[in-house]
């Protein structure tokens, strides 16, 4: 089982999505998967995501827009991590974000 699943719902964020995904792939904590659901973007968002080659990426594209909740729930359903971290497709993580959070969660199991 993967320790952390990062879930991303994307929609028409071609300007930002590469930085978002790469900020996850560049984490100092390595036991991650990235579950991305594109919500039927009409720009190049899906092409950009498809062009990032990393076995930790699990990508699905909706043919038509279904809304943020449907896209996010789809990414969550496909995730297998012990923990789930959400990232908006127009945002990014600092390099040690997941390592810090997993450290806190592991040290306080209650």
Residue 94: count of CB within 10 angstroms of its CB: 11
Predicted confidence (pLDDT) at residue 106 exceeds the cutoff of 90: yes
Contact 23, 96 (CB under 8 A): no
Contact 19, 87 (CB under 8 A): no
Residues 79 and 33 sit within 8 Å (Cβ to Cβ): yes
Q: What is the pLDDT of residues 67-82, one digit of tens each?
A: 999 999 999 999 999 9
Q: Tell me which residue has tokens 């300007």.
A: 15
89 CB-contact burial (10 Å; exposed 0-12 / middle 13-18 / buried 19+): buried
Tens-digit pLDDT profile for residues 19-75? 999 999 999 999 999 999 999 999 999 999 999 999 999 999 999 999 999 999 999
CB-CB contact of 84 with 76 (8 Å):
yes
């Amino acid at each position: 089982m993967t320790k952390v699943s990062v879930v991303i719902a994307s929609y028409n964020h071609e300007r930002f999505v590469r930085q978002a995904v790469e900020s996850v792939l560049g984490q100092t904590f390595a036991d991650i998967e990235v579950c991305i659901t594109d919500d039927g973007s009409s720009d190049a968002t899906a092409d950009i995501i498809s062009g990032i080659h990393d076995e930790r990426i699990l990508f699905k594209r909706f043919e038509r827009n279904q809304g943020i909740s449907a896209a996010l729930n789809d990414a969550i359903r496909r995730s297998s991590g012990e923990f789930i971290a959400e990232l908006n497709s127009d945002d990014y993580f600092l390099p040690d974000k997941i390592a810090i959070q997993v450290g806190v969660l592991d040290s306080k199991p209650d």
